[in-house]
């Protein structure tokens, strides 16, 4: 067995120094977490250990995913709360399934509910930002379809941690410091002392949340979507100016969808379909990379990053087409059709940044808007079991601590997922994305997402799981890690910790990790790119080695843990 825990801050993250990366290639002093029979990686060592213990006691990947997610709800409330939603891929008995447990717009939602609102941040902070949560129903449906162990057993690790407590880490303190001013009174009362965020080293016990988890443990989704917990959610949201109702909660349902899939680099890649844009753009990017023979360029070189940026620009142009499937007028297959991909590739040159005739691709270019640097809180976890079953799951509150709304009786942090709609047409959302009218607010609708949980097979066998938090930066982070995993011999931790870039079409900027070699940045600028140093995103991944062992990595850009046996 191997168990690891990393506590990192912005300073420690910079241990991936510029000197670690040459112009032509990169090497990182890194050690993946190893598992022979099973492995879990996540943003929290307690969560990964809980998942591993479930695997070691006879549970499968679905069971371990439930335990991992519920612990994240306790120890990482700024992105793991049961007040959020998400997407996952599950591979069970050789078949890959996609589960949509994304938040949905309340039944009283209307397209103009934010454009006519005097508070310009109403879609980000407060009760009106809250969409119907999906985490609990999603975990339940995953377990009911594929789980082995009793549901009641899987909730126990999270309940114990909520009752006995855990220590505030540097990352938790930093997130509180950033967002405490936006909390409602319940959140401020619990997470601050004398108006200041809880200090590092403080033991946090959450008896209110433990009570909610007990209700979920005994009653399944009925313990969350009905009864005292549901009333607490609705009453709190209403008090904070929101429109969520008991009917919205009781009528919430997940959706099993067919994953997107494509053969590329000799592998079968499965990813999330709409209402996520992630899978569609990822498969487009991988095809462009293969056709451009991106793998012929030296890894992490200026030449390779230039082509990566050009691929990303073109892929993100297509994001305008994607929304809740009920609103879409084209299919993902049309977007990553080989003929269309070939047209995009024909507009790329290795010498310099080029400007395609965007309108010839049937869309009008969007009006440029400045991007904002934000702490955007989503997380990802990966689980693989002894039988090759796997879960790649991304869960989110959207913003750091979501809406800043905490339910008064049970202490549940609620999402601000309504900002992922086109809340104000023509204006960028909190991710700096200017989105199309396809994504307008409507009752019961699912907002567009960038979450990209991904599973990879080779010759019918599982070989990799990967995913990321980070808003639109998710897609390009998954793309780069997956590309390097399929085309280089670096281990998975070296690949995950390496510097990455991001381009989302608008704004027309190549964002790059601060650890990227300055000479590479200079070459990008010489080729015509505008650049800006910002952390791109975190990635969590598991990959099978040639010797049959599993190797996992959690991103040193933040805290995390991996546990295998």
Q: Give the residue numbers marked as catalytic.
A: 378
The Cβ of residue 29 has, within 10 Å, a number of other Cβ atoms equal to: 10
- Listed in sequence order, the residues at least 6 apart from 326 whose beta carbon sits closer than 8 Å to its beta carbon are 445
CA 505/CA 317 separation, integer angstroms: 6
Give, as one character, the DSSP assignment of residue 421. S
- Listed in sequence order, the residues at least 6 apart from 95 whose beta carbon sits closer than 8 Å to its beta carbon are none
Peptide bond into 377 cis (omega under 30): no
Phi, psi of 494 (to 5 degrees): -60, -40
Phi, psi of 283 (to 5 degrees): -70, -30
Measured between alpha carbons, how far apart are the two ends of the chain, in Å?
Answer: 4
CA 44/CA 248 separation, integer angstroms: 31
SS3 per-residue string spanning 182-231: HCCHHHHHHHEECCEECCCCCEECCHHHHHHHHHHHHHCCHHHHCHHHHH
Tokens 């929290």, located at residue? 44
Q: Are 467 and 5 in contact (CB under 8 A)?
A: no
Tokens 């890959």, located at residue? 96
Helix (H, G, I), strand (E, B) or coil at 81: coil
The Cβ of residue 255 has, within 10 Å, a number of other Cβ atoms equal to: 16
Q: Are 121 and 182 in contact (CB under 8 A)?
A: no
Q: Are 492 and 553 in contact (CB under 8 A)?
A: yes
DSSP strand E in 212-339: where?
255-257, 260-264, 267-271
Q: Report the side by side order of strands in the sheet with 461-467.
A: 33-35, 550-554, 540-544, 461-467, 454-458, 267-271, 260-264
Per 3-state DSSP, the chain is made up of helix, strand and coil in percentages (nearest 5) of 40, 20, 40
CA 275/CA 485 separation, integer angstroms: 26
Question: What is the H or E stretch that residue 278 is in?
Answer: helix 278-291
Cα 298 to its chain centre, rounded Å, is 28
C-alpha angle with apex 394: 393 to 397, nearest 5 degrees? 145
Token pair recorded at residue 382: 């990966």
Q: Are 107 and 244 in contact (CB under 8 A)?
A: no
CA 427/CA 216 separation, integer angstroms: 39
């Amino acid at each position: 067995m191997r168990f690891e825990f990393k506590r990192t801050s912005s300073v420690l993250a910079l241990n991936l120094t510029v000197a670690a990366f040459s112009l032509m290639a990169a090497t990182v002093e890194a050690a993946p977490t190893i598992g022979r029979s099973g492995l879990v990686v996540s943003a929290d060592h307690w969560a990964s250990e809980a998942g591993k213990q479930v695997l070691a006691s006879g549970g499968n990947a679905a069971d371990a995913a439930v335990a991992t997610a519920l612990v994240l709800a306790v120890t990482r409330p700024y992105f793991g709360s049961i007040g959020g939603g998400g997407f996952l891929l599950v591979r069970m008995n050789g078949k890959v399934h996609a589960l949509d447990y994304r938040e949905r717009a309340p039944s009283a939602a209307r397209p103009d509910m934010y454009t006519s609102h005097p508070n310009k941040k109403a879609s980000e902070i407060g009760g009106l930002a809250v969409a119907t949560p999906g985490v609990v129903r999603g975990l339940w449906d995953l377990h009911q379809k594929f789980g082995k162990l009793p549901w009641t057993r899987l909730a126990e690790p999270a309940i114990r941690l909520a009752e006995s407590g855990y220590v505030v880490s540097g990352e938790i303190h930093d997130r509180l410091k950033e967002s405490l001013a936006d909390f409602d009174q319940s959140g401020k009362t619990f997470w601050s002392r004398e108006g200041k965020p809880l200090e590092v080293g403080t033991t946090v016990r959450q008896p209110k949340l433990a009570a909610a988890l007990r209700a979920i443990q005994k009653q399944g989704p009925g313990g969350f979507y009905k009864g005292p917990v549901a009333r607490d959610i609705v009453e709190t949201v209403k008090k904070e100016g929101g429109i969520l109702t008991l009917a919205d909660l009781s009528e919430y349902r997940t959706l099993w969808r067919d994953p997107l899939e494509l053969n590329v680099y000799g592998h079968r890649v499965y990813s999330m379909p709409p209402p996520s844009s992630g899978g569609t753009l990822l498969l487009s990017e991988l095809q462009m990379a293969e056709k451009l023979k991106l793998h012929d360029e030296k890894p992490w070189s200026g030449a390779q990053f230039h082509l990566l940026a050009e691929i990303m620009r073109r892929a993100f142009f297509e994001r305008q087409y994607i929304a809740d499937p009920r609103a879409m007028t084209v299919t993902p297959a049309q977007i990553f059709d080989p003929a269309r991909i070939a047209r995009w590739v024909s507009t790329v040159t290795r010498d310099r940044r080029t400007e395609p005739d965007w309108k010839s691709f049937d869309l009008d270019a969007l009006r440029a808007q400045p991007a904002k640097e934000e702490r955007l809180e989503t997380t990802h976890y990966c689980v693989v079991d002894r039988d090759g079953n796997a879960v790649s799951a991304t869960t989110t509150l959207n913003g750091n601590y979501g809406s800043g709304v905490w339910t008064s009786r049970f202490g549940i942090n609620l999402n601000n997922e309504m900002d992922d709609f086109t809340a104000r047409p023509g204006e960028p959302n909190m991710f700096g994305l200017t989105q199309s009218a396809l994504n307008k607010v409507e009752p019961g609708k699912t907002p567009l997402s960038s979450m990209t949980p991904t599973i990879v097979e080779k010759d019918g066998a599982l070989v990799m799981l990967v995913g990321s938090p980070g808003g639109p930066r998710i897609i390009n982070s998954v793309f780069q890690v997956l590309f390097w995993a399929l085309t280089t011999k670096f281990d998975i931790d070296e690949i995950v910790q390496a510097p990455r870039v991001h381009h989302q079409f608008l704004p027309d900027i190549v964002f790059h990790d601060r650890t990227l070699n300055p000479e590479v940045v200079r070459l990008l600028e010489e080729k015509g790119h505008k650049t800006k140093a910002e952390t791109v995103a975190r990635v969590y991944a598991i990959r099978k080695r040639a010797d049959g062992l599993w190797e996992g990595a959690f991103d040193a850009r933040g805290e995390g843990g991996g546990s295998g046996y």
